[in-house]
Amino acid sequence: MKPTALKVLSVAASLLLAASANSANAAPTLVQDVRVFDGERVHERRSVLFDNGVIVDADFKGKAPQGARVVSGTGRTLLPGLIDAHTHAFRFHELPVLFGVTTQIDMFTDVPTLKKAKLEMAHGGNSRRADLFSAGTLVTAPGGHGTQFGIAIPTITRPEEAQAFVDARIAEGSDFIKIVMEGGYGYKSLDLATVKAVIDAAHKRGKLAVVHISNEKDARAVLEAGADGLVHLFAAGSADAEGLARLARSKGAFVIPTFAVLESMANFRGDDLLANPSFAALLDKDGQAPLKARYGNEAKPALLVAPKAVTAAMVKAGVPVLAGTDAGNPGTQYGVSMHRELAALVEAGMTPSQALTAATSAPAGAFKLGQRGRIAKGYKADLLLVEGNPTADILATRRIVEVWKDGESANGLVDAQRRQVAKAAQEAQGSNPIALPPDGRISQFSEKRLASPIGIGWGPSTDSFAGGKSTVKLAPQPALPDGQVPLAISATVAPGLPFAWSGVAFMPGAQPMQPVNLSAAKTVRFKVRGDGKTYQMMAMSQGVQMPGAKSFTAGPEWTEVSVPFSDLKGIDPAAITMLGFNAGPQPGDYRFEIADVRLLP
């Protein structure tokens, strides 16, 4: 997420041009006697010829051209490369193609990433990564959803600012405009008048305007205001599904349900992607961690009732439904989560063929992506070959035989990734759990030091790195009768961030946020007292961007609290980077004390 220097871009451009030249000299490829899903329809037996990154003939007859590579299609299905219609492409750029996702439609990333992707695509040297079409910087209010990630972004407050704001995004390279209308979870939201002004400003420049919503009321409002699409459905128990579908149809809008992230909010796992050995073999500990995480700590399957009903109603009404994962969020991972999204769409009432259309030709058409998303003459040779028939069994998309990006086989990338993951796993086997202190105690507070027998020890922790203004003071207190020195945490949580916090953090590694294997411990136990308010014990582990958390109350008398690591959803005890004891997110002044913090088996 750091800006790329012009010199580096120049060197990269030269290398990519060379890669493009190599691709142009590669032999043509013929996938022979294969079932073809062309983006809309199934053809039971065809041969497909592609060369120089383009499909030459989608129904090739006769003998293979001289020098062509021939791939058997017997018992297999050839699909267009999958298009994930909702991602946040901040990291793991090497993963999508490995899982057959050859195009990502990004709903918010940093501008340098957007510009780098455009440069690579322009020079035809992007065969190792999915193509990227992006909204760039989203349109949100100060303190709104999208401002919580520690990235300084421009915001908007009034309708009068809409045209200049949209024009600035287009100048940065945004392919379309993504707007946030989100007032839940402590966020500040744009008002409807401003949302409508942004939609109109985007349309004036010939750009699509899509909107993030999280409830039915806002969904209806933005569709009435002219939004081209909803980039989420909402987690709820009920909705007027047919009425909302009729409205979307009348407005010519499309919908991206994003079941992968809605399932994360509902703490619903569906089928486990990591149970597929071929998928797990491509994801190291960092890559697997986001899939294991969840937004919700408690299972609430009722939250999926409304999005399933709305999806079914949209399909029945003829509204385009697009497959998008919201990858970049807990419970998702780039590329691989598309295979869960496809299954979830089928579970919501789509046929397998409709779900495949939602991941190929439908997003290509909705976002006007040109000649991709179909198997037809002149279209990009972004292709996915799988065993079996995914138009009958959607899980067949997981039996990947080969992926081609810009006509180049990804077999080499897949093999290299497998080797890298296997090597990391082998090295990790030699990383044994660290020995815990004999009594498990990691708090050695005194007037001189906030020490610990392991790691860096203890220090203040606030939301300042994310642009917050919260503050904290840490002060050792007189020893208790058992000799333990309590630590007083006086915190002021400032308004302005939806997830503001202030408190104290324990770092178990020799360097800040260095992962440490604490799997010898099963529980964190500590003593607490305070002002009667509710606090959170948090943990972070390698590869996870959202902490696992457990609430506790700091009453006037000393109380012992035990938090099993199993209660901290998505956290890997073998790769802990931080433990925290925090106030927030509600603004205000807080005071609590902790003592005798232990890691217990």
- Section 209-218 average pLDDT: 96
Is the model's pLDDT at 59 over the cut of 60? yes
How much of the chain, in percent, has pLDDT values that exceed 90?
A: 77
User: pLDDT tens digits, residue range 259-281?
Assistant: 999 999 998 878 889 999 999 99
Taking the C-alpha atoms of residue 518 and residue 522, their distance in angstroms, rounded to an integer, is: 8
Q: What is the pLDDT of residue 79?
A: 98
- Section 289-312 average pLDDT: 90
Q: What is the pLDDT of residue 25?
A: 47
- Section 550-567 average pLDDT: 94
Taking the C-alpha atoms of residue 73 and residue 251, their distance in angstroms, rounded to an integer, is: 42
Average pLDDT taken over every residue of the chain: 91
**In terms of DSSP bridges, do strands 487-493 and 471-476 run parallel, antiparallel, or are they unpaired?**
antiparallel
Q: What is the pLDDT of residue 147?
A: 83
User: pLDDT tens digits, residue range 374-406?
Assistant: 999 999 999 999 999 999 999 999 999 999 999
Tokens encoding 328:
């970049």
Strand partners, 426: none
Is the model's pLDDT at 571 over the cut of 70? yes
Is the model's pLDDT at 179 over the cut of 60? yes
Q: What is the pLDDT of residue 340?
A: 97
Peptide bond just before 587 cis, omega within 30 deg: no
Q: Edge-to-edge strand order for the sheet containing 82-87?
A: 82-87, 101-106, 131-134
User: pLDDT tens digits, residue range 498-526?
Assistant: 778 999 999 999 888 888 999 999 999 99
**In terms of DSSP bridges, do strands 457-462 and 42-51 run parallel, antiparallel, or are they unpaired?**
unpaired
Of 19 and 585, more confident: 585
Of 178 and 423, more confident: 178
Domains of the chain: 10-137+231-424 (no CATH), 444-600 (2.60.120.430)
Q: What is the pLDDT of residue 114?
A: 93
Q: What is the DSSP string of 118-170?
A: HHHHHTT--TTS-EEEE--S-B--TT-TTSTTS-------SGGGHHHHHHHHH
Taking the C-alpha atoms of residue 393 and residue 35, their distance in angstroms, rounded to an integer, is: 14
Half-sphere exposure at residue 361, Cβ-oriented, CA atoms within 13 angstroms:
14
Taking the C-alpha atoms of residue 140 and residue 135, their distance in angstroms, rounded to an integer, is: 12
Q: Cβ(405)–Cβ(105) under 8 Å?
A: no
From residue 331, alpha-carbon distances to 93, 166, 337, 585 in Å are 17, 31, 9, 22
User: pLDDT tens digits, residue range 309-359?
Assistant: 999 999 999 999 999 999 999 999 999 999 999 999 999 999 999 999 999
**3-state SS class at 407:** coil
Confidence category of residue 187, pLDDT binned at 50, 70, 90: confident
- Section 119-129 average pLDDT: 89
Radius of gyration for the alpha carbons in the chain, expressed in angstroms and rounded: 26
Q: What is the pLDDT of residue 80?
A: 98
Closest CA to 572 of 493, 527, 515: 515
**3-state SS class at 365:** helix
Among 127-141, 179-193, 219-233, 339-353, whose mean pLDDT is lowest? 179-193
Q: What is the pLDDT of residue 24?
A: 42
Q: Which segments within 177-292 are labelled E, that is strand?
A: 177-180, 209-212, 229-230, 254-255
What is the widest separation between alpha-carbon atoms in the chain?
Answer: 90
Q: Cβ(340)–Cβ(270) under 8 Å?
A: yes
Confidence category of residue 150, pLDDT binned at 50, 70, 90: low
Q: What is the pLDDT of residue 295?
A: 83
Q: What burial class does residue 7 get, using C-beta atoms within 10 Å of its C-beta: 0-12 exposed, 13-18 middle, 19+ buried?
A: exposed
- Section 213-238 average pLDDT: 96
Closest CA to 333 of 83, 117, 92: 92
Q: What is the pLDDT of residue 430?
A: 56
Q: What is the pLDDT of residue 12?
A: 34
Among 31-40, 288-297, 442-451, whose mean pLDDT is lowest? 288-297
How much of the chain, in percent, has pLDDT values that exceed 70?
A: 95
Q: What is the pLDDT of residue 22?
A: 39
Taking the C-alpha atoms of residue 530 and residue 528, their distance in angstroms, rounded to an integer, is: 7
Taking the C-alpha atoms of residue 180 and residue 227, their distance in angstroms, rounded to an integer, is: 12
Closest CA to 92 of 405, 553, 581, 545: 545
Q: What burial class does residue 545 get, using C-beta atoms within 10 Å of its C-beta: 0-12 exposed, 13-18 middle, 19+ buried?
A: middle
Q: What is the pLDDT of residue 341?
A: 98
Q: Mean pLDDT: which of 114-123, 145-154, 522-531 is highest? A: 522-531
Of 144 and 558, more confident: 558
